[in-house]
Chain A
Amino acid sequence: MNKIGLIIQREFLNRVQKKSFLIATIFIPLIFPAIIGLLVFVAKQSEKNAKKEVVLYIDESSMFIPDTAKFIFKKFNGPLEEGKRAYTHTDEFGLLYIPRYELSKPKGITLYTKINPSLDDLNSIERLFETQIKELKMLKLNIDKKMLDSLKTDVNISTIKISESGQEKSSNTGVLFGIGMACGILMYMFIFIYGAQIMQGIIEEKTSKVVEVIVSTVRPFQLMMGKIIGLASVGLLQFLIWIILMTTVTFGVLHYFGIDPPQQQAMQQISVDAAAHQAAVNSEITNSINEIISLPWAYIAFTFLFYFLGGYLIYGALFAAVGSAVDSPAEAQQFIFPITIPMLISYLSLFIFILKDPQGSVSVWLSIIPLTSPIAMMGRIGFGIPAWQQALSMLLLVVGFILTTWVAGRIYRVGILMSGTKVNYKVLAKWFMQRG
């Protein structure tokens, strides 16, 4: 109907014309790469600039202690008590006491420090001893180091997925894990942010009594749907811009580092031969980048859009019902909590079950139940989903959306006109049952 169109248009413009929309749309896709880049940069710099610390040591077992990246070891000649006294008067990092010990059971090695050493520091010193002792043992047992090294074999299992039609496709579990995690988290954020916006908008309309004027011209259900759809179209626009921006930035960066994305293969499945050939030619990094690029992006984007829309419409309707029932965002808290529980469950399961065992029964069921399926399905997306599961999940999502919208609509039409009432679940149920 024409009037719903007007409301959709108004809601859309309200959001899109805001500065915050522009900022979020342009900067969020850049923020994550920027933060990661910055962290890597800082870590590299601090590693390079780190001053080496001096550790005094008293050795009663005559060991050889090589300097490490962080520590310089200086031998102190004298008994422990004297060493302790000398150490307290210096600025050195620590005093290491190495008593005479048995190779099979080293005991009594002690590090004296003025401040508590970090776990990393302690580990690095422990590893130092472990290597030393291992070499001493090898010497004692007459084991040749070369022989030992030759026993070690590097095994890399390459994974290739065969589809029912017999098509083979190389896959990289690490990459799929990353994709699933990124999509799941993004879905969680999207649903939450947009759902909360719907609720906020409705509370605002209710407290300013705008709703009375609007509802005298359209049915409450039309207003609610207009708002939900209007905001959904904002989300779609934002998503679209993000895809374009991220693609551009990614290709730009790859080009900058001189890695040429294989464009002909970008959207196709790479044949085993080609994959094998490339593996031989390209470095490992280029390989996993190719892996990323060769993912079925069109399919992932479509699935993401579908589940975003479905999940958003379900949660949006619930958030709308909550917004209509309360007079302030603070009052809404008690109702938001139960709504977020399925979201939290699917979010946490993403890390506990779904990414670890994407075809396990918990993962499968979570990705079929409508309230949890948007996040759970995105977690599984890279690993391949049997067609029947996806079809069932999508169907249930649509059914779930229709059901929640119907329930929410019934609460909404009464709620928006009630101010100053103390609302609990009993009241909500009464509104739901109310006629006319």
Chain B
Amino acid sequence: MDALEVKDVTKRYAHHVALDKVSITIPEKTIFGLLGPNGAGKTTLIRIINQIINPDEGEILVFGEKLDSPHIGVIGYLPEERGLYKKLKVGDQLLYFARLRGMSRKDALTKIKFWLERFEIKDWWGKKVEELSKGMAQKVQFINTVLHEPRLIILDEPFSGFDPVNAQLITNEILDLKKKGCTVIFSTHRMETVEDLCDHIALIDKSKKILEGSKKQVKEQYRTNTFIVDHRGTFSLNGGPYELLDQVEVEGGLLKSTVKMNRTGSPNDLIRDLIQITEVNSFQEKIPTMSEIFIRLVKGGSHE
């Protein structure tokens, strides 16, 4: 079953269309990357999924059911900026939000204790959020998002403000949640996160979805038939089926060349031709990174 199905969703504002017939399918128990430059419509989509605003057209299914108010308890949402009351104590804060999401007071208290202990921050209960650092507040915010055991978790830039230790802690928690059967949606600009964590991605640009699929499929789709060769002794390869894009000296007479095959063929052909003219130390296909795919597709768009 799919965790979330967005079907032809359109949202118009007075002067622009924020989402234009966007359809996205998010399989259950995956980590899904929702990518796109600023202003592409990601926030609008997330707000629609969170029932903060309603779409003008289209339909959204959560675990096969039409999105409706009971799903508030099923979805957990972590907005990009704080999302916590500065003057409220950590414990009171978590309790308040848990109860707004429909938990009983008793359940909420048990869960809050569990999570505070797990993050080793039990003594923060009586602290006000304004006394915490940004990273500390973000931990509280993370707890706030997962406290009611949502099956679908939406995280908007979850790693901003974290030091590497805490980022790792949160990464582990996210992987753990996935193992337990949760579906996680990331909205992010950080391509390392996507590279490391996401199974599926969708790219939204200028209110339209322009790419969707598993990370593997997407990378396959954007192969460029380019290969990286470490070798000893220079060569030139101009003309013919190959194009030498780059050749730099690495160290101790070893060189690194980037070669593009202009017509489809087996990499074996390239290897065979190369060993005629140089000593090949290593040979590897250059697989595009998510960052390269992103930039290629969103040319001219703004990105951080």
Contact = CB atoms under 8 A, between A and B. Distances in A.
Interface of A: 3, 6-7, 10, 14, 204-205, 208-210, 212-218, 417, 430, 434-436
Interface in B40-59: 47, 50-54, 56
Contacts of B88: 14
Interface in B87-140: 87-88, 96-97, 99-102
A14 B47 CA distance: 27
Q: Which has the most chain A C-beta neighbours within 10 Å: B47, B86, B96? A: B96
A417 B47 contact: yes
A87 B269 CA distance: 123
Contacts of A7: 100
B75 interface: yes
B86 A204 contact: yes
Q: Which has the most chain B C-beta neighbours within 10 Å: A7, A205, A217, A417? A: A217
Contacts of A209: 79-83
B85 interface: yes
Contact of A434 (B14, B83, B102): B14
11 contacts: A6-B96, A6-B100, A14-B88, A204-B86, A208-B85, A210-B82, A212-B47, A216-B52, A217-B72, A430-B14, A436-B53
B147 to A, nearest CB: 12
Contacts, number: 62
Given A212-B52, A212-B77, A417-B52, A217 B100 contact: yes
A223 to B, nearest CB: 10
A434 B87 CA distance: 33
Nearest to A223: B100
Contact of A210 (B47, B53, B56, B84): B84
A210 B87 contact: no
A196 B55 CA distance: 34
A208 B47 contact: no
A216 B82 contact: no
Interface in B19-68: 47, 50-54, 56
Contact of B99 (A6, A14, A434, A435): A6
B83 A210 contact: yes
Dominant secondary structure of chain A at its interface with chain B: helix
Contacts of B75: 216
Contact of B96 (A10, A204, A205, A434): A10
Given A434-B14, A436-B56, A214 B81 contact: no
A3 B83 contact: no
A214 B51 CA distance: 11
Nearest to B52: A215
Q: Which has the most chain B C-beta neighbours within 10 Å: A3, A209, A214, A216? A: A216
Contacts of A3: 100
Would you list the 9 A-B pairs with minimal beta carbon distance, nearest first?
Answer: A216-B50, A436-B54, A217-B100, A212-B79, A209-B81, A209-B83, A213-B83, A209-B79, A215-B52
A164 to B, nearest CB: 54
Contacts of B101: 217
Contacts of A214: 97, 100
A355 B18 CA distance: 56
Nearest to A13: B92
B144 interface: yes
A435 B12 CA distance: 10
Contacts of B84: 208, 210
Contacts of B72: 216-217
A201 to B, nearest CB: 10
Nearest to B49: A216
A212 B51 CA distance: 10
Contacts of B79: 209, 212-213
Q: Which has the most chain B C-beta neighbours within 10 Å: A6, A14, A212? A: A212
Contacts of B97: 213-214, 217
A213 B144 contact: yes
Contacts of B99: 6
A204 B101 CA distance: 21
Given A217-B72, A217-B100, A212 B83 contact: yes
Nearest to A217: B100
A417 B79 CA distance: 12
Given A6-B100, A216-B77, A436-B53, A208 B87 contact: no
B81 A218 contact: no
Nearest to B76: A216
Given A208-B81, A210-B82, A210-B83, 6 more contacts: A7-B100, A14-B87, A209-B80, A216-B52, A217-B101, A218-B100
A45 B178 CA distance: 80
A14 B87 CA distance: 9
Q: Which has the most chain A C-beta neighbours within 10 Å: B77, B85, B102? A: B85
Contacts of A216: 50-52, 72, 75, 77
Nearest to A220: B52
Contacts of B85: 204-205, 208, 210
A232 B144 CA distance: 29
B106 to A, nearest CB: 15
A434 B75 CA distance: 27
Interface string B181-205: 0000000000000000000000000
